[in-house]
Amino acid sequence: MAIRSLDQLAEHVKAKGTKTRIAVAVGEDQNTLGAISRAVSEGFVTGILIGSQARIEDACKLENIDPAAFTIVNITSEVAAAKEAVRMVRDGEADVLMKGLIGTDKFLKAVLDKEKGLLPPKAVMSYVCALQIPKYNKLLFVTDTAVLPFPDLNQKIAMLNYSVKMAQRFGIEKPKVALISATEKVSAAFPASMDYAIISKMVDRGQIIGCEVDGPLDIFLACDPSSIAIKGVDTPIGGDADVLLFPNIESANSFYKGLMLFAGGELGGLIQGTTKPVIVMSRSESAASKYYCIALSCLMAEEK
């Protein structure tokens, strides 16, 4: 049975009875510690904090967390801490990598290191969110909200495959992927719409499998069956999309943030393309969304 909400996701990873080992690079801030300590206390995560032991203990004190709940690896340099966290995941000593109190650029530099990082050669790194909206009857997988500013055709295909793979992990056998534009018309005025036409034909030829794909579609045609009827557009998505692939980061980012603020949205998101799950959370995400990011990483870390 498919996982249809973020709470069902958390229940699923709790019910497995195994602990996912998460290595946190520079886990010295209250924000990060608060998020991971809930998962640790609920029993589905082991937290390995790589950073300054003194600063970790100080932050734990401020959050009323017992530092003994974690394994602490005392490395005071943030660059060295990030490298060690990546090494642990690469060598199988941890299952998931998580960013703590370190700049995203420095953190990703360790992840992207060609010799010692977590991204296979030529792999595309991208970001997929599982977005929960009270008025939609299931989760909506949204990409790319955070990593690729203006994806080209090759990157769009990678985004599609990552989001389909994630949706399948939630038990959706054949996810419906809507390729989002401002209209359903293919036009040279919208370069993404031409990439979408190419992707649609690749799907017809069996070059992309495991999903229904159609685009360009606007948000109404992707997510609202009544708009399909009004506009008379023939699409296998049928206003019932599982995945929304956006043409640029500005559209994906504004879409999900609008729904977080004004539609009661929550999300779990994860970097995709790496050999193991990588969690990078924004400070401005809600506490609940931070917890769901961790739960999502546990689902995606499962052996299949």
Interface positions with a second copy (CB under 8 A)? 133-136, 145-146, 149, 180-183, 189-190, 192, 218-220, 223-224, 227, 230-231, 246-255, 257-263, 265, 283-284
CB of 236 to a second copy, least distance (A): 19
CB-wise, 94 or 108, nearer to a second copy?
Answer: 108
CB of 144 to a second copy, least distance (A): 10
Beta bridge partners of 267: 131
d(CA 162, CA 271): 10
CB-wise, 43 or 134, nearer to a second copy?
Answer: 134
CB-wise, 44 or 127, nearer to a second copy?
Answer: 127
CB of 250 to a second copy, least distance (A): 4
- CA-based nearest residue to 110, from 28, 12, 102, 175: 102
Backbone angles phi, psi at 81, to 5 degrees: -65, -45
CB of 223 to a second copy, least distance (A): 6
Backbone angles phi, psi at 46, to 5 degrees: -105, 125
CB of 232 to a second copy, least distance (A): 9
CB-wise, 123 or 263, nearer to a second copy?
Answer: 263
CB-wise, 141 or 255, nearer to a second copy?
Answer: 255
